[in-house]
Amino acid sequence: MGAHHMSWLVVLRLPRTASFLYRTAFAYPKTSSSTPGRRSLGRRPHICTMAETLLQNIPKYTLQHTLNTPAPITALAFGHSGHLYAASGTSIAPSSTHRLLGSQTGPPDDGSLRVYDLSSSKVVRAVHGLGEEISSLACLKRAGSELRDVWLALGCKMLLFRMDQEKLVQIEADALEVIEVEDKGDDVLNEICGLVKFIPDRPREIVSGGYDSCLLHFDFVQGTVLSRREIPVAASTEGMSLSPPFLMSAAFGGTGVMAAGTADGRIWVGCGGEKGVKAAKKRRKWDGLDPGHELIEKVSEGPIVAMSFSDPLTVTFSTLLGTVSQYTIFRQDDESHLVNIWQESTGVAKTNALVVDQHRFVVAGLTSNARGIIEMWCKS
């Protein structure tokens, strides 16, 4: 079979990357000198090598466990030694079917943290009765402990808990440290700030984004804005106005590549701050918001509300309604392309959180009846 037909077979075998492969195959058509008016294969031989590479690396995930909680899950984090930290808000109605450690009776959730053993899907530690929705959490490694300490953010305070205590279920009074965040009424943003991320290997630099559709790169020690990138409004389709590109989620790869998801279903990827594999030292400046090294692609009809990198160039994200997709940044001829390598609908009716590692991803949020749900998908 000729190379021309082989390229089309590759497109058929990879339907979700068809448009990308088509653009790559026909981007630079040439006119054959031996046959006037006939286009040569040009770059088409490369498409076969590229497609073979994609086929070899396409993941396959299967649903391993589904866990239910009385209240919606609001935040997730992996601990070490196979633990999952899952924070929740407050339940709408009392529940008689769920409790923190698995018994059949108990009060409704009112702001809780559960630590799951991923091998058994059982709760091994918990914090209960915090009274408010836990908006975010951060795990801290501590020498000599298999259970990571955890900071919980709720309302205007942050609480630190040590999870290797003998007490299986802790309460707010057990917190080792409490930080009250004072609302001074000044230095406020004009728009809602929906996300803040630290830049890898730059402990004093963060990127924020929100409802002004702008990514801001800060040195928070000096209090200065180092760079910014406003996400452009997408072109209207058939005269219809699309949703504004509010920034709903963001994540960093380990080498400094940044991705962000918008309310209008686009993914933005900034490669300007990527560190080289053989880089001897840290760059003086992080240029991750440079529009000359970015990719923007429409990938969903709904908001992209959660995302995480599983390796430096592969990002997994979820839409608001629970469709999870995985994209990789594919490099060819000094050009970068976003390629969809996996996609599946989950049982989550509204996604609030997603975490990914090399072996699995966990997506969580609400069910259709406003209860909490956690789905664990493993790579086979």
pLDDT, tens only, 192-219: 788 999 999 999 999 999 999 999 999 9
Find the range with the poorest average confidence among 32-46, 247-261, 300-314, 335-349.
32-46
Cα 108 to Cα 364: distance, rounded to the nearest angstrom = 19
Q: Is the pLDDT score of 336 beyond 60?
A: yes
HSE (side-chain half, CA atoms, 13 Å) at 243: 17
What's the average model confidence in pLDDT over 123-146?
94
DSSP 64: E
Stretch 117-141: mean pLDDT: 95
Q: What is the mean pLDDT of residues 242-259?
A: 92
Nearest-angstrom CA–CA distance, 369 and 228: 40
pLDDT score of 21: 46
Domain ranges of the chain: 3-56, 74-180, 189-345
Least confident window among 129-138, 180-189, 215-224, 251-260: 180-189
DSSP strand pairing (61-69 vs 193-199): unpaired
122-127 and 169-170 strand pairing: parallel
pLDDT bin (cut points 50, 70, 90) of residue 182 is confident
pLDDT at residue 55 greater than cutoff 50:
yes
Confidence label for 65 from pLDDT (cuts 50, 70 and 90): very high
Q: Which long-range contacts (CB under 8 A, 24 or more apart) does 168-173 make?
A: 168/101, 168/124, 168/125, 168/126, 169/100, 169/101, 169/125, 169/126, 169/127, 169/128, 170/125, 170/126, 170/127, 170/128, 171/127, 171/128, 171/129, 171/130, 172/127, 172/129, 172/130, 172/131
Helices (H) and strands (E) in the chain, counts: 3, 25
> What are the tokens at 346?
């989950």
Residues whose CB is less than 8 angstroms from the CB of residue 228 and which lie 6 or more positions away in sequence, other chains included = 214, 215, 216, 217, 289
Pairwise CA distance, residues 287 & 284, whole Å: 10
For the chain, the residue count is 380
Neighbours of 236 (CB within 10 A): 9
Whether pLDDT at 311 is above 60? yes
The total of other beta-carbon atoms located within 10 Å of residue 226's CB is: 15
Query: What CATH fold (topology level) applies to the domain 74-180?
Result: Lipocalin (2.40.128)
pLDDT tens digits, one per residue of 83-111: 999 999 987 654 433 444 444 334 566 79
pLDDT band at 292 (very low <50, low <70, confident <90, very high): very high
> Residue 236 — very low, low, confident or very high, per pLDDT cuts 50/70/90?
low
The answer to whether the pTM exceeds 0.85 is: no
Residue 223 CB neighbours (<10 A): 8
Least confidently predicted of 114-128, 138-152, 176-190, 327-341: 176-190
Per-residue buried b or exposed e for 179-214, using 16+ beta carbons within 10 Å of the residue's own CB: eeeeeeeeeeeeeeebbebebbebeebbbbbbbbbb
Q: Sign of torsion, CA 218 221 223 224?
A: negative
Average confidence (pLDDT) over 250-260 = 96
Question: Which strand (E) or helix (H) includes residue 160?
Answer: strand 157-161
CATH number of 189-345: 2.130.10.10
| Average pLDDT of the residues in 343-358 | 96
Amino acid present at 372: G
> Looking at the predicted structure, is the pLDDT value of residue 189 above 90?
no
Cα–Cα distance for residue pair 100/109, rounded to 1 Å: 9
Which is more confidently placed, 7 or 302? 302
Q: What whole-number distance in Å separates Cα of residue 332 and Cα of residue 346?
A: 32
Q: Which residue has the tokens 């259709």?
A: 368
pLDDT at 116: 97
